Amino acid sequence: MATISASWALLKHGWCKDTLIAFDDHGKILAVTEGAGPGETHFHGAILPGLPNLHSHAFQRSFAGRTEFSGGGSDFWSWREAMYRAAGTIGPDTMAPIAAYLGMAALQGGFTALVEFHYLQNDRDGTPYAHRPAMAEAIIEGAQQAGIGLTMLFGIYQTADFDGSPLQGGQKRFNTSPDAALTMVADALPQQGADLRFGLSPHSLRAVPPASLHAAISGLAALDASAPIHIHVAEQQAEIAASLAVLGARPVEWLLHNAPVGPNWCLIHATHTTAAERHGIAASAAIAGLCPSTEGNLGDGIFNLPDFTEAGGRFGIGTDSHVCLDAFAELRLLEYSQRLRAEKRNVLAGPDAHTGRILWQAAAQGGAAAAGRPIGVLAPGNRADLVVIEPTPETHAMHPDFWLDAAIFASDQKPARHVMSGGHWVVRDGAHVRQQAITAAYRRALQKIF
């Protein structure tokens, strides 16, 4: 058993002073005690539950920053063509160092878990690898090198659009049937443990026809009824129009009426939704998977989060294309986008509450549900995933609510001072414990693929 303590800790019911956390050699929290003496390691700061990153495409980190010029087009669909070109350069040998670097950077940004929405599953010409899950295993290897918890979601991707048109060009690398994806899940389940979880990610209603979606859902339920199911939905207005034309319903509307959307589901983006759809998601207990920096980068639009949370909806955040890997910055952008939309301040705080705490706790608990792992709350039985922050000079004598507010809204550097994942310190004094080796391998991988 090991123990750590801090001046404050953010527990499910709020801030607790002089808190001691005990955890075992396997990274499971054994006890959380308020008003206790110092542990083996003590911080004059605040301990937060680690934030799960509920939406990741690891390979997309490799071309972050390479599409910010108008000559390449100025909409989502032109960006998608650039993404296809980048996807065509990566193999299992380069995927592992990319995933390791991604995991390292996410940890330094305050994320302690990733949910990988994995659909880059075939060789460059579109044929399956001889060992079908080669790319998934490379991502798992990278996450383990970085020391970050992982939920691996095997993708399903069959058609280019709602009308069933065949996959073209770069899309062929994604071609995966429900049977193939379910076989990979079944083969992977014996590896499942405290820091590794498996599930499915039907890419979208554009890419997965209704019959395939139903087969995938029923097949997964037979393997693991609680396994996470994530799907992209209602990200772009053109998607809404195509869904109406072919399915006779909006994407979220169709899902709510034709699929068993429930607590183990995560609807990624759900940007363009009606009030009825948002309230339907909330009633289903599914998670809205919001990706503020990617949605801003792609010009997707702004999800109506206040309406959703007032209906009891749960949400988490992901970094998707990984143009930003800072949990604090993602929450800041999430709140600021809502302020710009509503033309008011502290949109998500509610009466007499601090915006930072409301955002962090909601995203931690919603992200944990989306990941399907015992994380997101500092409590006995959960993983010892945590982040240590320190007060700024402006807030040092104040309540820790102000420390967290400052970390999210007034920080000029990454606020995660120390980070623990699964009972292991992976970031100390802002630096990852394997930073040099992981960064060097990542640079070699980029030199090879570009």
Mean pLDDT, to the nearest integer, of 17-27? 97
70 has pLDDT over 70: no
- Residue 408 and residue 98: Cα distance in Å, rounded? 27
Encode pLDDT of 283-338 as tens digits. Answer: 999 999 999 999 999 999 999 999 999 999 999 999 999 999 999 999 999 999 99
Mean per-residue pLDDT over the chain, rounded: 96
pLDDT single digits (tens) 202-219: 999 999 999 999 999 999
CATH of domain 2-49+377-435: 2.30.40.10
Tell me what pLDDT residue 85 has: 83
* The pLDDT value given to residue 72: 64
Q: Which residue has the tokens 């880059």?
A: 120
CB atoms closer than 10 angstroms to residue 165: 10
Percent of the chain with pLDDT over 70: 99
The residues of the chain that CATH labels 2.30.40.10 are 2-49+377-435
List, for residues 227-256, the tens digit of each pLDDT value.
Answer: 999 999 999 999 999 999 999 999 999 999
What is residue 71's predicted lDDT score, i.e. its pLDDT?
67
- Give the C-alpha separation, 139 to 144, whole Å: 9
Which is the CATH superfamily of the domain at 51-371?
A: Metal-dependent hydrolases (3.20.20.140)
Give 383's DSSP letter: B
Q: Which residue has the higher pLDDT, 329 or 73?
A: 329
Distance of CA 314 to the CA centre of its chain: 14
Q: How far apart are the first and last CA of the chain?
A: 46
The per-residue pLDDT for 155 is 98
29 DSSP β-pair partners: 23
Q: Which residues touch 281 (CB under 8 Å, ≥6 apart)? A: 252, 256, 261, 267, 270, 273, 288, 308, 313
Give the residue-averaged pLDDT of 157-166: 97
Catalytic residues: 269, 320
CATH 3.20.20.140 in the chain is located at 51-371
Strand ranges in 24-93 using DSSP code E only, listed in sequence order: 29-33, 41-49, 51-56
pLDDT score, position 210: 98
Which of the two residues, 88 and 252, has the higher pLDDT score?
252
pLDDT for 160 equals: 96
pLDDT reading at 78 higher than 90: no
Q: Average pLDDT in the 342-365 region?
A: 93
